[in-house]
Structure 1
Amino acid sequence: MTPTTVRIAIIGAGPGGLACARVLQRHGVPVTVFDHDAGVRPRGGVLGLPVTTAQEALHAAGLHDRFAALARPEGREVRLLDHTATVLFQHTPGPGADRSEIDRSDLRRLLLDSLAPGTVRWNSYLRTLHPLGDGRHRAEFDDGHSETFDLVVGADGTWSRVRPMLSDADPHYTGVTFVESGCEDAATRHPDVARLVGGGSMWAESAGRALFARREGGGRIRVYAAFRGSQDWALDAGVRMADTDAVRAALLDRFAGWDERLLALLRANDGGFANRPLFALPVPHTWTHTPGLTLLGDAAHLMSPFTGRGADLALLDGADLARALAAHDDPDEAVRAYEAAMLPRAAAAAGTAARASADALAPDAPRGSLHQLRAVFGDPQP
């Protein structure tokens, strides 16, 4: 590949897009990232990144040492409970475990700081792409300017503006909604909740409902109430999401009969609640190879978050695409090689995520989740 003759645009400054840009720049390949945000929006959540995938991508980006300095080896404990707060499964990894936790905001800052100044153009919303017939595309942005690129990479997430150029598939509502809340300084302000959650992630399941909780940096615990129903469940119930007390009452009603130690996750939140209906692409999601275009991350394989593979796969996608582009003289051959590896990998992960979602919210839950945890970790005693 001749870096000076190929113009590459990455649409979306998420983990996958930024990782792709970083690895390209390490190989001397110019790239521009466009993102519709202003660059200041906080990105919450914690990520568990496996050694064999995401951390491999960080090695390719030359950032693994800096990642290791930010990551937390703790936070990897896994607990599964039933609605009586009985611990059914508990796994605490020993030294040398293959995952490390990092806050999403820290990972984003790490990737952004590694890029050449001016790589990311904020406040750049892609309005449309026009194929020029030779593999190139003219990208038009909402500020009125346009540019022509030899390769446009859609790394722009759930509602990708690039995906429709490749695929007729639209994300569909999975029938599952998460309602997010959180506890600040949990060890001090909410010690009972902190003890219940333990040193990593905890989830409790029963009869189509689930409560998830996970430790984050700064002593925060993020909480999700999960259930099947309309994505507009609050509206249907006559509740406004801005009315914290009303939402809490509606959730407590949905989880009636659960142990009070678990209901404390809904009572003890600091701040309000946020509605997070879950969307996914068909499994498998594929497309006919089109010169000058490709996808990565959620734009390519949006899936249920139950297995926590979204950012993990996006990072690996970005690194793999960049390495393929650096290794091939012909960018189209590089994209073909990347897609040939990425699509089956994504399909397998999406299938696993869909099954995990079904297990967690099944009528006989937590039976399926317990079976899966034992298959992955063995059968430790709680």
Structure 2
Amino acid sequence: MTTVTIIGAGLGGLTLARVLHVHGIPSTVYEAEPSPTARTQGGMLDIHDHTGQPALRAAGLSDAFHGTVLEGRQAMRVLDGDGTVLLDEPDDGTGGRPEVQRGELRRILLDSLPAGTVRWGHKVSGVRALGEGRHEVIFADGATTEASLLVGADGAWSRVRSPLSDAVPEYIGRSYVETYLFDGDTRHPAAAKAVGGGSIFTLAPGKGIQAHREGGGTLHTYVALSEPREWFARVDFTDPAAATARIAREFEGWAPEITALITESDTAPVLRALHALPVEPRWERVAGVTLLGDAAHLSAPNGEGANLAMYDGAELGKAIAAHPDDAEAALTAYEQALFPRSAAAAADGTDLHELLFGDHAPHSLVSMLAGHAQPR
């Protein structure tokens, strides 16, 4: 049986590898990072009952996943800049979008794969078509490998995308500045009280402070600012104190327990410029290669990125298992469902941006949540 070659050991690529393994199909995952612990894996993820959770069921990992859920983290609050609580929704216990640490979820997936499945320290520099559906993968150190079925799970700046599409991510006009407060209840009690047991959205047109409570009392914050890249280029992020002060200045007059999520940060502020691919990602079928996750459909943040990557991986794995002797039939079936799913998620991201940062923020978000619909 043909080994599936997967580029990228993120959640999507690992879910694909696991679902293939469940069906007895071998795969090899090439990852640029030198080891599974080379860097931290981001913060919290809410795993949705219509995307991420079905993917984990297909991978046979539901029990392991539920063992990592942080109870109570589905609680959500919306605040005005002066600290007024506009909406306070407790964790309803339904499990529709339970929160887990991204690193824990990745560990579960890695531990579920046969030893040697992931080849660490393999950064891809390019892909070359060899004909008859085969592709050569070229690594940064000059080494190569040939793939008869190649999957790009290598994120926003995918190298595997080039045989399929010339689309390039574009800046969406908004960036996040990321901060952390550790031991919040003890060291940052006012900020911890404002965040509550789950997450908060403190919003105004064009900007906001979003935070959630992670394990161990950590408060993880994303400060959103709708500014051009040139604006952020004028902020000296090599000087953490100066950068912190400059970002905080955009929220003058806001409640101190909210701005403390910036000013009391225990880490240097980190800039995260946000990019997206075209709203309706699509390409002509190219034999022997496809994409999943952000490589296929990077969109404005909408809470679905990791969920969709896992769902893509599971659906692709099931399609390959359903057509073990016909890779093109598998890839065609997968992509026919992928394209409309991706377009819908991208449109949701655009709608969510307006709810969070449009002219009627934060009341637009409050109105939506009061209707018992969750932001995606």
Give the structure 1 partner of residue 271 of structure 2: 275
| Secondary structure of the structure 1 residue equivalent to 2:25 | coil
Give the structure 2 partner of residue 185 of structure 1: 183
| Secondary structure of the structure 2 residue equivalent to 1:339 | helix
- Work out which of the residue numbers 349, 366, 373 in structure 2 matches 1:370: 366
- Work out which of the residue numbers 91, 112, 115 in structure 2 matches 1:114: 112
**What do the CA deviations read for 1:119-161 (whole angstroms, capped 9, x no partner)?**
1111111122121221111112122222211111000001000
84-93 or 169-178, larger mean C-alpha shift: 84-93
**What do the CA deviations read for 1:318-353 (whole angstroms, capped 9, x no partner)?**
011001101113111011111111211111111111
State how far apart, in whole Å, the 1-side matches of 2:357 and 2:154 are.
29
Give the structure 2 partner of residue 235 of structure 1: 233
State how far apart, in whole Å, the 2-side matches of 1:340 and 1:376 are.
31
In the alignment, residue 258 of structure 2 is paired with which amino acid? L
| Secondary structure of the structure 1 residue equivalent to 2:309 | helix
| Secondary structure of the structure 1 residue equivalent to 2:67 | helix
1:310 and 2:308 aligned: no
State how far apart, in whole Å, the 2-side matches of 1:205 and 1:113 are.
39
State how far apart, in whole Å, the 2-side matches of 1:178 and 1:70 are.
27
State the Cα RMSD in Å.
1.4
Give the structure 1 partner of residue 295 of structure 2: 299
State how far apart, in whole Å, the 1-side matches of 2:155 and 2:292 are.
8
In the alignment, residue 368 of structure 2 is paired with which amino acid? Q
Give the structure 2 partner of residue 56 of structure 1: 54
- Work out which of the residue numbers 224, 227, 238 in structure 2 matches 1:226: 224
State how far apart, in whole Å, the 1-side matches of 2:233 and 2:138 are.
37
TM-score, normalised by the number of residues in structure 2? 0.95
| Secondary structure of the structure 2 residue equivalent to 1:73 | coil
1:357 and 2:357 aligned: no
Q: CA deviation at 1:245?
A: 1.5
- Work out which of the residue numbers 314, 318, 321 in structure 2 matches 1:319: 314
- Work out which of the residue numbers 266, 271, 282 in structure 1 matches 2:262: 266
Give the structure 2 partner of residue 68 of structure 1: 66
Contact 1:234–1:247 (8 Å) recurs in 2: no
1:153 and 2:151 aligned: yes
Give the structure 1 partner of residue 215 of structure 2: 217
In the alignment, residue 93 of structure 1 is paired with which amino acid? D
Q: CA deviation at 1:95?
A: 2.8
Give the structure 2 partner of residue 15 of structure 1: 11
Contact 1:46–1:216 (8 Å) recurs in 2: yes
State how far apart, in whole Å, the 1-side matches of 2:157 and 2:372 are.
33
Give the structure 2 partner of residue 332 of structure 1: 328
Q: CA deviation at 1:50?
A: 1.4
State how far apart, in whole Å, the 1-side matches of 2:227 and 2:63 are.
44
Aligned length: 371
| Secondary structure of the structure 2 residue equivalent to 1:164 | coil
**What do the CA deviations read for 1:231-282 (whole angstroms, capped 9, x no partner)?**
243432xx32131211121112111222222212112211210001100111
1:25 and 2:21 aligned: yes
Unaligned 5+ residue runs, structure 2?
Answer: none
TM-score, normalised by the number of residues in structure 1? 0.94
Change (3 A) 1:225 1:95: closer
State how far apart, in whole Å, the 2-side matches of 1:173 and 1:225 are.
17
Counterparts of 1:95-110 in structure 2, within 5 Å, are: 95-110=93-108
In the alignment, residue 178 of structure 1 is paired with which amino acid? Y
Change (3 A) 1:191 1:14: same
Q: CA deviation at 1:77?
A: 0.7
Give the structure 1 partner of residue 169 of structure 2: 171
1:139 and 2:134 aligned: no
| Secondary structure of the structure 2 residue equivalent to 1:50 | coil
1:81 and 2:76 aligned: no
| Secondary structure of the structure 1 residue equivalent to 2:260 | helix
Q: CA deviation at 1:367?
A: 3.0
Give the structure 1 partner of residue 44 of structure 2: 46
| Secondary structure of the structure 2 residue equivalent to 1:70 | coil
State how far apart, in whole Å, the 1-side matches of 2:319 and 2:274 are.
32
In the alignment, residue 315 of structure 1 is paired with which amino acid? M
State how far apart, in whole Å, the 2-side matches of 1:133 and 1:271 are.
49
**What do the CA deviations read for 1:260-306 (whole angstroms, capped 9, x no partner)?**
2221211221121000110011101111111111110110111122x
| Secondary structure of the structure 2 residue equivalent to 1:194 | helix
In the alignment, residue 125 of structure 1 is paired with which amino acid? K
In the alignment, residue 352 of structure 2 is paired with which amino acid? A
Contact 1:138–1:149 (8 Å) recurs in 2: yes
Unaligned 5+ residue runs, structure 1?
Answer: none
Give the structure 2 partner of residue 198 of structure 1: 196
